[in-house]
Every structure is written in C-alpha cells, then in structure tokens.
Amino acid sequence: MTTRKGRKISGGKYIKNRKKKSAELIGQKKIVKLGERKKKEKRLRGGKTKTILLKDKFVNVKIKDKIKKIEIKNVTETPSNRFLARQNIITKGTIVETEIGKVKITNSPTKENMINGILIEEKTK
C-alpha cells in the first residue's frame, strides 16, 4: 500500500492547526547593490525595527591603524558566486575596485548597515 502526501493511513487529511504569523513568513532575499545609498526599515516582533542596507557606494577601509571612507568603482569578483559580481552585488568576501586599490569586504553589509573592508592590493602609480 502506498502512502499519499498529506494523508493519514486511513485516508483522512492532516489539517494545519494555524496559519503562519507575519514574523514567521519568509521575505525576499536582501542584497546590497552598488549605487547611491539606500536603506529600508523592517518591522520585527514586539514592534522593534531593523535597518537594512540595499544600496551603497562607499566602503570603510582599514589602512594600517586608520579607517578611511572610500568610493567603490566596481565589483571585480565574488568567490561565493561569480554571477553576483556581474550584477554589482556586494556580499561578504567580495573583492571591489576602489581609488586606492582592491579591497576585500569583511562584513555582511545587509545585517550591519555599512560596508567594511581591508586593503588587499595597493594601486601602483
């Protein structure tokens, strides 16, 4: 005897006891693209809010002991997914091209609301 999905052995249906709450619903995947700074407020359980970064064109780069805010020119490569670099999507581990050289993103920009990175390759003049 084969069992059918969503049915008991007797043939009766399994019925859900409730629907999902708004906090349990799965939303769209948040991605950070290269462009003019854009943020979004998201309501959480208990009325709390979370700010999500959607677009940004600046990265905070640590050079020796100082931190500088530098403009991103282009997304060169993303080790996790090569198609993300083509669409200028910034994730953790992405390598971006700036005025001073190549920078590796060290944080998750969607969660932390900013883009941080470290200098990998300095531009030679």
Domains of the chain: 32-122 (3.10.290.70)
Contact 66, 10 (CB under 8 A): no
* Predicted TM-score of the model (pTM): 0.76
pLDDT tens digits for 46-83?
899 989 999 999 999 988 889 999 999 999 999 999 89
Cα separation, 94 vs 100, whole angstroms: 16
Mean per-residue pLDDT of the chain: 90
